[in-house]
Chain A
Amino acid sequence: SQELEQSPQSLIVQEGKNLTINCTSSKTLYGLYWYKQKYGEGLIFLMMLQKGGEEKSHEKITAKLDEKKQQSSLHITASQPSHAGIYLCGADIGYSNSGYALNFGKGTSLLVTP
């Protein structure tokens, strides 16, 4: 099955600092999704990328998908305590034994300190 590697596994940054989370696949991604999960809660959809070279931004969060569609990055500018949580990437790899559902990375845990 498709494996998505996320790095780093965890991150502690000081408030106001920038940070980047990466998601890498060994296969071409037909769609790449970023979700945020607050501790003990469900997943909240952030952004979806489908085209090679695509970049999307929402507030202080920017996500990019590389030209080869095998790697995505999530960049947070001027981090705030509200950004804390677990960030997961999910990928649509087309038909597999699991059908068209998403495969997820294991997540990156982000803590923002004052």
Chain B
Amino acid sequence: NAGVTQTPKFRVLKTGQSMTLLCAQDMNHEYMYWYRQDPGMGLRLIHYSVGEGTTAKGEVPDGYNVSRLKKQNFLLGLESAAPSQTSVYFCASSYSSYNEQFFGPGTRLTVL
């Protein structure tokens, strides 16, 4: 099993550009999450999904959109990137809300 994978690993964007981060899991998990990790702020939840076709807002959803068209994939989109979105993005998945979350290796995004 590959577990949770994220693509790309690194990306540099200019302000105003758009991009999509892809998260894939092969554990048949229902729940998937997108977090961002910033120095001094810890991990903060952006959006999450409790199943295929569903999404919900987390703590810091502004400027991001997500889609869960397939159970194994969870996409995070930035329509118009801003320097404040420079961060490390982590995807995670879990079987249910009462089980541990498995994390991907992260995507390091820099917005100039």
Residues of A that sit less than 8 Å from B by CB: 1, 31, 33, 35, 41-45, 48, 88, 90, 92, 97-107
* Complex contacts, B105 vs chain A, CB 8 Å: 41-42
- Of all chain B residues, the one with the shortest Cβ separation from A50 is B98
Docked-complex contact A106 and B104, CB < 8 angstroms:
no
CB-based A-B contact count at 8 angstroms:
59
* Complex contacts, B102 vs chain A, CB 8 Å: 45
Given the contacts A1-B59, A41-B106, A102 and B101 also touching, CB distance less than 8 Å = yes
Docked-complex contact B45 and A101, CB < 8 angstroms:
yes
Docked-complex contact B98 and A42, CB < 8 angstroms:
no
- Of all chain B residues, the one with the shortest Cβ separation from A35 is B103
- Of all chain A residues, the one with the shortest Cβ separation from B98 is A31
Contact of B43 among A31, A48, A97, A104 (CB under 8 A): A104
